Amino acid sequence: MAKYEPVSLRNVAIAGHGGTGKTSLCESFLFVTGKSERIGKVDDETSCMDFEPEEQKRHISISAALNYVTWEKHKINIIDTPGDSNFVFDIKNCLRVVDGAIILIDAASGVEFQTEKVWEYAEEFKLPKIIYINKMDRERAGFFNAVDSVKNVLTKKATPICLPIGAEDSFKGIVDLLEMRALIFDGPEGKFRTEDIPEDMLKDAGNYRETMVEDIAECDDELMNKYLEGEELDLADLKAGLRKGVISGALIPVICGSAIKNIGSGSLIDTIVGCIPSPVDRGPTVGKKPGTDDTEERLPEASAPFSGMVFKTIADPYAGKLTLFRVYSGTVNSDSTFYNPLQKATERFGNIFFLEGKNQKPAGSLVPGDIAAAAKLKETFTGDTICDEKAPILFEKVSPVPPIMSFAVHPKSKVDEEKIMISINRLLDEDPALSTHTDVQTKEIILSGMGQVHIETTIEKLKRKFGVGVDLTTPRIPYKETIKRKTRVQGKYKKQSGGRGQYGDTWIEIEPLPRGRGFEFADKIVGGAIPKQYIPAVEKGIVGAMEEGVMAGYPVVDVKVTLFDGTFHNVDSSEMAFKIAGSMGFKKGVMECQPSLLEPIVDIAIEIPDEYMGDVMGDLSSRRGKVMGMDTNGSNQIIKGQIPLSEILMYAPDLRSMTSGRGTFTYKHSHYEEVPPAIAEKIIAESKKEE
């Protein structure tokens, strides 16, 4: 393919709430630019961009996909991002490496929760933005209502640069306010004819154009002076001012259309080429000199030292790992070596290629702004910086989002058990928003992620890519047992069955320790009541009994045991006998010390819009939660509290339901507290039933 200089590149992410038509818009781009011969459809499973079986099954994007189109001597790299909050880390990583964002809004629904979140991410990365109001052909579509929701929720800087002609079934084209002409679309081929603006729209078109011209003029002092002096701003003035306003963030153009009917897609591509900055326009990328706080810059020039960033990894059981990266400076070729300062490793590129959905096209060499992929890199992962070893630099990576939902993973067969951890770890390379660990107490493999869909699609990939079958269950809660009182008790083991017998006799004192102290053992034997060689066996027997639990099979904690007396037999005593005696005495004594059950308590922070405060706080109280404080984040409220872990295992879908998808939360372990007696009885009964 033809090579493009950095000034002719445009890197954009298509982002928005789930179901706004992001993938359909990408398919429309491919068709309008002549890259594909038909418009792929998500619902028909013919989309070039949603090609993973898990996506086709659910009819949603679950993983960012890449493609590119060429238009008016420019190359546009397109990243189609997921719209579900389960895949927020993937969204953020993609927005981190592009130069502009196309924010999609459903013409009937207006701004939705995930629209707000992707807007926040785009603002965080200081990305120029274009708003595309999609699905103008659907029932209840309302362009002006959608624009109002943008201005009320997202930004006052939104400026329509087109108006729809018709709506719902009668939507047939747009009025271009820059050129003051009507574009009427004929069929799904994207062909249009230019007409005069309909008579009944002339007044509205004039008013909206005047507002647009004023907003554009405000982005440039020279244009503003010209405008205030009453001079007419010509088309070149308006396009230059619009571009300047978009790049500076002073203006966000609003366009409308129907991706699935291919109406307005060409106008949007024109606006991307005309308004989204090139890598050169974005200027230098700032990083740090590895191992220091000193800042470094990399200019988007071919002559600068090579630098780039990995923003996505794809686990492929056949091709190996695919590493997707953006070049910020310098050039790179196949077989080039590079340095990874985060991993402190040097690696060599094999083949470098551009992605076209699931297909690959050899790239040869790359220039600043190029987005490409490399296969089989072993020591390079999502978020890593790659650079010239002689001029190292470290770019800031996106911080992983704390997981909010966990499941226990159980292999379906012995073969699955042998492969499970290797396979899961390969998926963790692909998706750092996942995490896994083996619970020390319950011995369960715990897989954590951003929600049920996130976990379920991971399990489906595990089966499809690596042939590993697993079942998901709710994780067991790692309860613990403790005591409240002190006692002295004898533990005696005596067995005689012909020949040498077994004899061990211990007296121990059991008492509670402050919460979190664990276990203490004290040897207070005097006068050789128990020979020294048997005392470690007594402690071992007690520790074993603590691990097995006494009430419900959960470990006993925060206990001090003092061995103060006992007897032995010259022939029949042994380490085993004293180990059993110590265990028997401990189990007997615990039941005399008013045993109780402890449960893990977590610190939780719940971020919600103000209107949901009452519902969420009431629900928190019903889950035995305590509100510890309040905070704010913009227009949102943050409830800070503590709640038993057992009460929030399935909290993510419940919170989404309560808040229409607008609530988020994070949590981390805090401490253990005593379980209320009525609940403890149920837990103990259930534990005995399982035994």
Spatial CA neighbour of 56 closest among 72, 44, 38: 44
What does DSSP say about strands 519-523 and 502-512: parallel, antiparallel, or unpaired? unpaired
Looking at the chain, which residues constitute the CATH 3.40.50.300 domain(s)? 6-194+249-282
What is the per-residue pLDDT for 190? 57
Give the pLDDT means over successive 10-residue stretches in the chain (691 positions): 86 94 92 82 68 68 87 95 85 95 96 91 96 95 95 94 93 94 77 87 94 94 89 92 96 95 92 96 94 92 96 79 94 92 93 88 92 92 94 92 88 83 85 88 89 88 87 92 95 81 94 92 92 94 94 94 93 92 96 94 93 93 94 88 93 89 88 94 86 64
Amino acid at 451: G
Q: Are 384 and 342 in contact (CB under 8 A)?
A: yes
Dist CA 415 CA 173 (whole Å): 58
Q: At what angle do helices 265-275 and 235-248 cross, to 10 degrees?
A: 70
* Fold observed for domain 405-473: Alpha-Beta Plaits (3.30.70)
What's at 349, amino acid-wise? F
Tokens of 565: 């007396």
Return the DSSP state at 169: G
d(CA 499, CA 572): 10
- Cα distance between residue 431 and residue 403, in whole Å: 12
Q: Which of 225, 175, 228, 229 is nearest to 199 (CA)?
A: 175
Apex 688 CA angle, 686 and 689, nearest 5: 60
Pseudo-torsion of CA 585, 586, 588, 589, nearest 10°?
Answer: 110
Residue carrying the six token digits 């003092």: 562
In 3-state terms, what secondary structure has residue 431? coil
Two tokens, residue 99: 């130069």
Name the fold adopted by 481-594: Ribosomal Protein S5; domain 2 (3.30.230)
Q: In which residue ranges of the chain is CATH 3.30.230.10 found?
A: 481-594
Distances in Å between the alpha carbon of 265 and those of 190, 258, 607? 8, 8, 36
Q: What is the β-pairing status of strands 74-80 and 9-16?
A: parallel
Q: How many helices (H) and strands (E) does the chain have?
A: 17, 36
Residue ranges with strand state E in 464-569? 470-473, 480-482, 487-495, 502-512, 519-523, 559-567
Say if CB 667 and CB 648 are below 8 A apart: yes
Return the CATH fold of 285-291+298-387.
Elongation Factor Tu (Ef-tu); domain 3 (2.40.30)
pLDDT attached to residue 53: 65
Element (H, E) at 656: helix 651-658
The pTM of this model reads: 0.84
Architecture of the domain whose range is 598-690: 2-Layer Sandwich (3.30)
pLDDT for the residue numbered 415: 79
Residue 573 DSSP class: B
Q: What angle do CA 189, 195, 199 make, to 5 degrees?
A: 130
State the number of CA atoms in the 13 A half-sphere of 22 facing the CB.
34
The distance from CA 482 to its chain's CA centroid, rounded to whole angstroms, is 38
Question: 321-330: b or e for each residue (b if 16 or more CB lie within 10 Å)?
Answer: bbbbbbbbbb
CB-count burial class (<10 Å; 0-12, 13-18, 19+) for 272: buried
Task: Return the sign of the alpha-carbon dihedral for residues 218, 223, 225, 231.
Answer: negative
pLDDT of residue 532: 93
Long-range contacts of 434-439 (CB under 8 A, 24+ apart): 434/403, 434/458, 435/403, 436/409, 439/475, 439/476, 439/478
DSSP, residue by residue, 335-358:
T-EEEETTTTEEEE---EEEEETT
What residue ranges of the chain are covered by domains with CATH 3.30.70.870?
A: 405-473
Measured between alpha carbons, how far is 141 from 560 in angstroms, rounded to an integer? 70
DSSP 154: I
Assign 417 to helix, strand or coil.
Answer: helix
The CATH number of the structural domain formed by 6-194+249-282 is 3.40.50.300
As a whole number of Å, the CA-based R_g of the chain is 33
In the chain, what is the greatest distance between 2 CA atoms, to the nearest angstrom? 118
